[in-house]
Structure 1
Amino acid sequence: MTTELDRAVGTPSQQALTAVPRELAERMRPHLGQMVRDMIVEIQRAVPAYRQPLEGKFGEMLIGGVQMAIEECYDTIGTPAPLRPDWLQFFRYSGKVEFLEGRTMDALQTAVRIGGRVAWRHLSTAGRALGIEPDTLFAAADAIFAYVDELSAVAVEGYTEAQARAGGALERRRQQLLKMILAKPQASRESIAELAVATDWTLPDELVVIALEYRDDQHQLPATALGPQVLVDLESSEPCLVMAAPEVHVPRLASELRGRRAAIGPISPLADARHSLRCARTALALVQRGALPQQPITWCRDHLSTLLLLADEFLAAQLVRRALAPFDELTEKQRDRLTATLHVWLGTSGSINEIANRLDIHPQTVRYRIHQLTELLGDRLNNPAERLNLEIALRARQLLEPRPTA
């Protein structure tokens, strides 16, 4: 990459300008004022972003920039003097101003190119009228366009530097907004709304939080392409996204996951955003250990009963231990058969034939197993509350102790 030091020592434009006779610059100097005026007229005519009164900062930068560019160019013709550092600094600064004023890089580069064409037109017309040799004019043309390329490069560097700095600052504010939304306690709605305006994020009444799997290389991952209405945290140990309208953004999410899984929390009011995140993280953990289906994207809304059941795994384990204690003295094979029968029985209102069909066993086998269950559990099978405890305990055990499928 060319540095300002490199430019101060020697560049293609300098080499080309040095080769042009100094006499040309002196003979052209009386025409420079008209050249400045014509350049400004042409730039404003051809570039809509510059069609505004030449007043204030805008007028100062446009007129001053054109004048400095022309003067530096003609001052350098026929001399070995390096480009002045203040020239480099000015046009780098001009590029920054262009970005901060909201004009595009294309508008900036177009304006510079137009300036170069106007300079050559003046030089060609006046040079012929002054009887300057064609070879000298052609050498001057090469020098001018090399100079224009360099001027454009310096201004573009300033533009991209300001763009990167603004983008970094904006991204930091967006991450701060995400943290404010998910904080416990949450920041005031007024503070969140103020920062949302500053980051151009539409503050929704409802949103979802998406938990993402952590990856060691996530700091090197490219920024997601989900758009400005998605707040992104790929830096923390628990990466996540915050968004409204998940049906709009989620279809594109799969291509952005890059091999990791995600869980989408329930839609919640802004004030409950951290609860959406908690559910999403719980669901993601259950996917990782096999308690929920293995898939790239898991919607919490499809597994609310499971999430509720395992919201407190300690209590769930206590219920399993108490409700299924009568099975402890059985062998593992006996325990599996009887609990499977009990699970189906509780869900089928006691129909022997339906239980037999679901378990693919003979009805007489079902009757024998139910007899065993009656001896183990006694009156608990006739108590609605105890039947509910048994059903919850059986489901909780499946989730807490998932077994690999054959």
Structure 2
Amino acid sequence: MLSRVPELTDALVARIEEQSAGYRRAGVIAPHDLWRSCHDNLTRLLKLVARAAGDDQDGTDLYDAARSTGRQRAQQRMPLDDVLRSFRLGGRLVWEALIDRARAGEPAGPDELLDLASWVWSVVDDTSAQLAIAYHATERELVRVDEQRRATLWEGLLHGRAKDPAFAAQAALNLGVALDGPYAVVVLDVDAGDDRTGTTLEVRLADVGIVSVWQARPTTLVGLLAVGDSFAALKVLRENAFVPAGLSMTVPTLAEVDVAYRQAVLARDTVPPGRVEVAALADRLPEALLLNSPSLAEALIERRLGPLLKVPMTERRLLLDTLSSWLRTAGSINQTANAVHCHRNTVINRLRRIETITGLDLTDTAAHLELSLALRASWLLPPGPLA
């Protein structure tokens, strides 16, 4: 039968092209490649059948063609089911040819035919298994390479390399996004290896018509959102993200995603320690300014709240909470009393206490802006005397 391998190869190629829709649909396997693969695997199959029958004692590795086919088809992204189906077609062709040969020669008894069938299909199973092992190993390697390539593209995108048009085009192609936005970036605190949060958010955002792609980094999850409506995106994030997160403002193109990324990180940093919320930079601009100038923020704390640093902790927190509520309510004593759950006279006494300690005149509205910023800075900066 080995002398007929070229003839059998032609027949097998014809069957595969006729019966395997996957090979026709893929269109990635050149005709000479398919013919050579079929030829080599048919040759090995016949030799393995001979070895199973005890007629071939050669110790040569006869699974090399199956492994090579498995690796190559994985690299060509051919579905494994289609590749295994072609092996079964090859096994059926060899079985039919052997039966025809037996009929043309000396008659074979039932036991001999059963043995022959057992050898053929056992060999087909064994070679299919070897092919599948090689296919899966190559597939895992390809996934690892794809992940590394994707991670490299993401890092370049987040660090401004998309300002190079060639890189931007490559990133857009590989990440499946457009060159033009508008885009926003969201950064979430997640544990390493958490890929469920990104999947969940991708689905929820898609439900409201927002396309997104995600990349897990060592301690954060980064999402690139093709936003048409930032309010809709923020609503979805706040309903489905249960970790501290920051959302940037929008940028017009992929080339400016690095700007949006820095904004998202800055927005995330405005979330006070211990709080779980999604902060939009558009709503946290004063806090962002303070975080961008920590030395000035510290100077502002010292200038406006410094004397309070010497007040015992319990009283200090009461005074600061009262001052914060009073500023937030535009100086309303009644609203402040409701906010801090005390009598309005208590609020008045606390405000007088603050004036005595700091030397400030709280009726001077010019100082209110600095006081508000100083309070915000005290919440944002690393724990210190005001904590």
1:323–1:225 Cα change, 3 Å? closer
1:147-181 CA-partner distances (Å, limit 9, x unpaired) = 11122223333333432333222222211111211
1:401–1:336 Cα change, 3 Å? farther
Within 1, Cα distance between the matches of 2:64 and 2:238? 43
Within 2, Cα distance between the matches of 1:252 and 1:394? 27
Within 2, Cα distance between the matches of 1:307 and 1:224? 26
Alignment of 1:5-404 (within 5 A): 35-51=8-24, 56-65=31-40, 67-69=42-44, 71-73=46-48, 76=51, 77-82=53-58, 84-85=60-61, 87-128=62-103, 130=105, 131-183=107-159, 186=161, 188-196=163-171, 199=174, 201-204=176-179, 205=181, 206-213=183-190, 215=192, 218=193, 226=199, 230-234=213-217, 236=218, 238-245=219-226, 261=243, 263-269=245-251, 270-282=254-266, 289-290=273-274, 293-294=275-276, 298-301=278-281, 304-305=284-285, 306-325=287-306, 327=308, 332=313, 335-372=316-353, 380-400=361-381
1:91 is aligned with what amino acid? A
1:255-305 CA-partner distances (Å, limit 9, x unpaired) = 9x9xx9452441443344344444544555665832xx136xx34448625
Structure ID, larger Rg: 1
Within 2, Cα distance between the matches of 1:356 and 1:280? 35
**TM-score, normalization by structure 1:** 0.70
1:118 is aligned with what amino acid? L
**TM-score, normalization by structure 2:** 0.73
- Contact kept, 8 Å, 1:209 with 1:243, in 2: the verdict is yes
- Contact kept, 8 Å, 1:175 with 1:231, in 2: the verdict is no
1:327–1:285 Cα change, 3 Å? closer
**Local SS of the residue matching 1:315:** helix
Percent of pairs with identical residues: 23
- Contact kept, 8 Å, 1:279 with 1:300, in 2: the verdict is no
User: Deviation at 1:138?
Assistant: 0.4
Within 2, Cα distance between the matches of 1:382 and 1:394? 18
Q: Which runs of 5+ in 2 are unaligned?
A: 203-210
1:41 is aligned with what amino acid? A
Q: Which runs of 5+ in 1 are unaligned?
A: 1-27
1:108-129 CA-partner distances (Å, limit 9, x unpaired) = 0001112212322333354345
**Local SS of the residue matching 1:84:** coil
Q: Which moved more, 1:30-39 or 1:138-147?
A: 30-39
Within 1, Cα distance between the matches of 2:133 and 2:143? 15
Within 2, Cα distance between the matches of 1:104 and 1:252? 36
Within 1, Cα distance between the matches of 2:371 and 2:28? 81
Within 1, Cα distance between the matches of 2:110 and 2:140? 45
**Local SS of the residue matching 2:66:** helix
Query: What count of residue pairs does the alignment treat as equivalent?
Result: 361
- Contact kept, 8 Å, 1:265 with 1:279, in 2: the verdict is yes
- Contact kept, 8 Å, 2:188 with 2:220, in 1: the verdict is yes
- Contact kept, 8 Å, 1:208 with 1:243, in 2: the verdict is yes
**Local SS of the residue matching 2:362:** helix
Match of 1:7 in 2: none
1:355–1:158 Cα change, 3 Å? closer
Within 2, Cα distance between the matches of 1:262 and 1:349? 29
CA RMSD, 1 decimal: 4.3
